[in-house]
Structure 1
């Protein structure tokens, strides 16, 4: 794998840390700003909606710009957004700062995925994408637990200042390690948007939305779940998040290999096992060791889906991969917002934290049905290719 992929992974580490660390700091942020935990959870939705809004907007604004300059500029925007997060004195201003930070997310991962895939042979594309996303998963192994502990020690604002430092390191890595000239297909952006009319492209993005909603309907509230149901201390929650991050990292790399092997069967099989694990979590969350084991397996399965779905979108939208890849990041984060909101609604209406994984079960089952439909729609196209041969 080219060394230049490392620069994308470092940037992904910074972006992943700022996106996910808010989960570990949720009680502290809520207490400091005088809002409820469900209201603080909407900071996750606000960030996710910022990604959704930023995806098409920045896809249009950066369509004709050089890839390296675009990625460097997006990281600059990320740094500015985190500075604003650290300085925000109120809930409303923090929400606005999170949205500013989120604007770079979709375009960076969308463009970065295509750049990563173009830097390696065709049979290693999903593994290259997974390597870039390894930065995102390592953020959960290192960035989120460290950021949570740092925030509990020095205050949650200190965590965002630390993320600013990560962003500066990522900016330097992009400048030094990315090739100066990265090939890109020239096309008209409005013409590329027509790819959304393809039912398989649209369906792949809807599956991304639902899979992400399944994860975040539970993960957004994992800190209070572990405290109230498993009876973990604040320090133990940090350790549990570290274990979950290990699972995410392993799952991401596993998903890359599965996608390069057999994409759709791997997607369907992963969703089946995920449904079983989430259902089991309603029982295992009451005991320490079973809860930790379930968290680990859940993490593996949840992020094995990421490279599978990202490559599925790039493959089905071969006429406009940059745009589709960017919009799929918006789809993932639309799912984040929907999932965090569904979780908040469930808690507000009396669903116990212990039973929150059942919301994830329902959403994962929906994703499984859509994946089976997409696989069924593939068959006529494959049969046509065989007949033509």
Structure 2
């Protein structure tokens, strides 16, 4: 009997979609000083976009995930990825801080829901044996973005200007959309419970503790990560050409923890 393959084309496309979401979310980290200079605002003001992103992302994600389950999955997926692309285009061509903020809000509105939709493909693109591994890898797309995407985006920004970092995301997103249209299944799994019923889960103490754990971990990580580039540059005095190395090291640690967490879950 042939050995089951985990990394088939649909799985790789869904991991790549998570990577693009992570790259778009975290790219601000590496190019924050460049944007501040380009738009003539302070680095703290640009850094506030990370907080704004989180404030929009957090409440919209459960609402968007619940609502998306009531509509055809593939059409919803493609519509939201289109909104994601529009948000990044706004960022790339933003003439001022207000337009950049609008673009970041658009991206935050759909990013969490896109990850949730990607998870629903698990029964269609992999076997029960690899279900937990699939979830771990989709989440790890964000960490892969911090290992590869953010340093690459930082290098592009340093070489060609910060707008080209967003242009890179846009170009890769177009390629990703073509891949999604080509390989993702079109079937849907309609929601069998009401919209409000889905939120009863949040009254479960175990769910509350799980959410709290993620919130505390993300808060501790992102507060530091947001200003990692200025910290390395101004406090540690790391030369500009080595800033990407620091971002790679931090991202690699995040990636390892995600993948090792998936292995621990399989043992449980």
TM norm structure 1: 0.63
Query: Which residue number in structure 1 is paired with residue 119 of structure 2?
Result: 113
- Measure, in 2, the Cα distance between the counterparts of 1:49 and 1:261: 35
2: CA distance, partners of 1:22 / 1:150: 13
Pick aligned residue for 1:132 from 134, 138, 148: 138
How far 1:252 sits from its partner (Å)?
A: 2.2
Counterpart check, 1:178 vs 2:178: no
Gaps of 5+ in 1: 263-389
Contact 1:130 1:256 in 2 (8 A): yes
Aligned pair 1:156/2:159, yes or no? no
Shift of 1:118: 6.3
Q: Note if 1:209 corresponds to 2:215.
A: yes
Deviation at 1:161, TM superposition (A): 1.2
1:35 aligned partner: 41
Deviation at 1:160, TM superposition (A): 0.7
Partner Cα separation in structure 2 for residue 204 and residue 57 of structure 1: 18
Equivalents in 2 of 1:36, 1:208: separation in Å? 30
Residue 8 (str. 1) matches residue 14 (str. 2): yes
Report the CA distance between 1:6 and its aligned residue.
1.1
For the Cα contact (< 8 Å) 1:53–1:103, is it kept in 2? no
Q: How far did 1:182 drift?
A: 4.1
Alignment TM-score, normalising by the size of structure 2: 0.90
CA contact (8 A) 1:11 1:75 kept: no
Could you tell me which of 250, 254, 260 is aligned with 1:248? Answer: 254
Work out which of the residue numbers 141, 144, 153 in structure 1 matches 2:150: 144
User: Which range moves more in the overlay, 181-190 or 84-93?
Assistant: 181-190
RMSD, aligned α-carbons:
1.9
Output the CA distance in 2 between the equivalents of 1:247 and 1:118. 31
Q: Give the conservation status (yes or no) of the 8 Å contact 2:18–2:141.
A: yes
Tell me how far apart the structure 1 counterparts of residues 57 and 231 of structure 2 sit (CA, whole Å).
Answer: 26
Deviations 1:248-267 (A, max 9, x none): 333322121112223xxxxx
Deviation of the 1:199 alpha carbon: 1.8
CA distance in 2, matches of 1:32, 1:218: 23
Secondary structure, in 3 states, of the residue corresponding to 2:189? coil
1:224 to 226, 230, 233: 230
Corresponding residue of 1:102: 108
What is the rounded CA distance, in whole Å, between the counterparts of 2:130 and 2:62 in structure 1?
28
The alpha-carbon deviation at position 119 of structure 1 amounts to 4.2
Partner in structure 2 of residue 65 of structure 1: 71
Q: Per-residue CA shift, 1:287-346, capped at 9, x if unaligned?
A: xxxxxxxxxxxxxxxxxxxxxxxxxxxxxxxxxxxxxxxxxxxxxxxxxxxxxxxxxxxx
For residues 137 and 172 of structure 1, the distance between their equivalents in structure 2, rounded to whole angstroms, comes to 23
Q: Larger Cα Rg: Structure 1 or Structure 2?
A: 1
Gaps of 5+ in 2: 1-5
Of 239-248 and 8-17, more deviation after overlay is shown by: 239-248
Contact 1:116 1:132 in 2 (8 A): no
Following superposition, the deviation at residue 54 of structure 1 comes to 2.6
Give the CA deviation at 1:185: 4.1
- CA contact 1:117–1:129 (8 Å) conserved in 2: no
Distance 1:106 1:202 in 2: 18
Does structure 1 retain, via aligned residues, the 8 Å contact 2:16–2:176? yes
Specify which structure has the bigger relative contact order, considering alpha-carbon pairs within 8 angstroms and separated by 6 or more residues: 2
Residue 156 of structure 1 deviates from its aligned partner by 0.9
